[in-house]
Structure 1
């Protein structure tokens, strides 16, 4: 099925958006599909009046554009809803787990992962915090399996790995080079790439191309560090035993102030964008590369652009939510 129609977004008047990537949105036609996916996920995974529900609803109050419409314009129309469900689910998981001590979060992740295995379907134990999410993930697994897509098992396997690894390291990172692999993992980035390929009906073989792997890495660095850049003001005030953000890592690594670290981080993101543009150009100019590969690379640029634009404009990162 073809993607929803999309339109270029005018970013010229958004001073906080510093990316060089063009932004497109399919929100105009796709919003009913996206909204239904969000409603299904938020109301299934959170309790009325809970902090997690308030956070989820606030996440989607951005007047500049919907996160999923901005980020996944080339995903097929009949799969965009699943993209919204799975990523919103992971956002809610993140909101819940960040409030738990590290050891408890690891246990809760393990309980949640049981929903991805049929052998645990009779186990109704929901741990301390993941009962609703576990039930929802189990139902979603069954729904996805019923699509009879041969790529769905790989998608669910990648999700399982992501849930296993996303919050499994309580190290204090000393350098940005040490931190970046963790940041991509904590962002569920491998799963996001697999989800995009699945939602675009892209052959798994595309990811075996070395240029594509380099390009994916560059985009992963961009989106992970962009999140850190814009979310720092919110994260620095959160009561948690583990702050995971590039700003304090750079402060420690280079013995600089918070303001200097944010400036450095912005320059690193801009530099990584230049590298991504060079890699994309190389891929696009190779005539022997498949149309699937070129479409995928184009969507990943739109993902980085849309996500960066959303981070630059969303109330979540620019106007702290009242409890």
Structure 2
């Protein structure tokens, strides 16, 4: 069966939502489906209406895949600077991957008679209004959600969905030896809701109170200005290098105000790190009681939880063990099998 997966443009750097979609793309190709990835640039708030330069850039990279994720050799890639229904290739199954791709996919489905699937990975009010997000959920596409809390949110809006929980690549993100030097790791980002400001606040407090603790951050951007001088920032680590960072850390900090599914938290847990996180549904829904939680936006609460674990080796060891235990249920291979089975069912209906 021909399957087209529509993503909102090309991601130049590692992005969790894209990684999940690409993993499913590879699984579909491995299962024998004829898969095309369509990177179709969508309009964002503040975009200039003249897309001339962007069109040239997309035309030059018309069939270029992601540089940071290896796609299956059989996967075809097509890139366009403008998402319109006519740009979507004909297929038996069309898959939208977010609020900005769902309307065009739904229109293409209505025009061609294809089966339509909508992979919902977040409540995307950071790229659309709440009304637009809810309207996209109500389009005539089969909704697939990546976490239990999203399943509940859609149900509250009167929208049925199928839950295929995100997982972790356990071949890459696996436990290692206990770190010889206590270390704290966090992801930083220019996205405001990731709360890099709180990460910097926690790190400054740890540097002042526990100068022997190794402090590391990673992310796609440059080193944040607010980090203490002792902290090390790793920009755009490859997956194997990121796994090494997790394994070298005693504790991972998530300061986000919101997450669809806190994939770095899951990866850190799978590598055996304890977790301190804001109490958000996108973490608690899969991490359960493994992390120590603080309210969203509570920098002092995050700091107290981090310092409390660093000061108590027995509690830290117990938290690390609980992370590993909970993470055993987060398997990307199983998630991919379930997603492929869902597409197979849609393909049979389409056929």
Larger radius of gyration: 2
| Structure of higher RCO (CA pairs closer than 8 Å, 6+ residues apart) | 1
Which has the larger helix fraction?
1
TM-score in terms of structure 2 length: 0.24
